[in-house]
Amino acid sequence: MDERRPVTAAPAATETLSREAIARIDLSGQLDDVLALPEHLRDALWRVESAIMGESDTPAGLVVAGMGGSAIGGALARAALGDHASRPIFVTRAYGLPPWTTPETTVLCASYSGNTEETLACYESAGALGAKRVVVTTGGRLASMAREDNVPVIPLPGGFQPRAAVAYMTVAALEVAALCGAGPRLTSEIDVAASHTEQLVAEWGPDAPEDSLAKQIARGLSGSAAVIAGAGLTAPIAYRWKTQINENAKLPAFFHELPELDHNELEGWDGAQGVGRFSAVFLDDSDAHPRVKERMELTERLIAGNAMSCFRLETRGQTTIERVISLVLLGDLVSIYMAVLRGVDPGPVALIEQLKADLAAG
């Protein structure tokens, strides 16, 4: 006898995902920031150029130090460079730098607010080591310290939630990677990617039909804990999906990476229905290794019976930048739509703010 509970979706707070319906719930205007992603890509290029940084060859590579939405740009940049990266590019989400950091390393300290304590600690550590430093921020203590030390500052526009500055952080990491010799300049590719993203905004945005891809996915994931899987290029995008669902939809979400997923997590799906509602999203890439693509297809088939819903999605575009940004945009839209379906304003992050206040109180 099968004692597993039937899996059903939670009731939606709204039946439509029109621009008007979203505006009634998205009081902080997070959707507008997502739709402005193409403009952010172009503006980011200008802001990097305005920092007046010279090339600085650092054979030990690039470390991007940041947390949350400020760190994801480094991971996405590393994925976009792929085989074109000529030196190590590492993202650290901690109070310290990797132990192998030397004066021949460039350290990009990324903090939207400029007051992220972990990133401030990394900035000071990089200075003590004599590493080349660059800062990307809106201001705060990080900008003040950098200007006192004559460290280049890439200025960011204010008024966003840090997670909405993903284009700025990604472009900053790509451009700094080029300046320190870790990869080629991708300026023209970024500009083309902005135009490509404009087309996807029209296809997946709030003015698209109710059966458009992003809206379908949001409804399919609604009422469940989403488990996002990526591979290679899409691994950091899968992490971005997870964190966007966490912060925007205020829901648990998880991520993993293929092929490692097939050596452990796959078995866990056998008991999924007995402990809750889980959905699966597989982020594929048009240029993925053939065996990874085969694994993704087989894995989806094996877990489908225990998942509330399953989606396998592929990157769109010709260049790696276009392909990365395509699924970043899709995930950001899905997370906003999921928030609206729950009747939750995606902007505020009350628990995170409470944690910061508690930490500050000692």
DSSP states of 190-247: HHHHHHHHHHHHHHHSTTS-TTSHHHHHHHHHTTSEEEEEE-GGGHHHHHHHHHHHHH
Catalytic residue among 247, 250, 293, 322: 247
User: What's CA 64's distance to the chain center, in Å?
Assistant: 14
Around 26, how many Cα atoms within 13 Å sit in the side-chain half-sphere?
A: 25
Same fold, 19-28+193-342 and 34-190: yes
Domain covering 19-28+193-342 in this structure, CATH number: 3.40.50.10490
Residue-wise pLDDT tens digits, 159-176:
999 999 999 999 999 999
- Overall pTM > 0.85: yes
Residue-wise pLDDT tens digits, 302-321:
999 999 999 999 999 999 99
Angstrom distance (rounded) from CA 85 to CA 184 = 7
Least confident of 2-16, 84-98, 309-323, 336-350: 2-16
Residue-wise pLDDT tens digits, 109-124:
999 999 999 999 999 9
Mean pLDDT for the stretch of residues 143-152 = 97
Mean pLDDT for the stretch of residues 183-200 = 96
Q: Between β-strands 253-257 and 225-230, what pairing exists: parallel, antiparallel or unpaired?
A: parallel
Mean pLDDT for the stretch of residues 275-282 = 97
- The verdict on whether 289 is a catalytic residue reads no
How confident is the model at residue 50, as a pLDDT? 86
Angstrom distance (rounded) from CA 44 to CA 17 = 30
Catalytic residue among 117, 198, 265, 356: 356
- Rounded mean pLDDT of the chain? 94
- The verdict on whether 263 is a catalytic residue reads yes
CATH class for domain 34-190?
alpha beta
- Domain chopping of the chain, boundaries: 19-28+193-342, 34-190
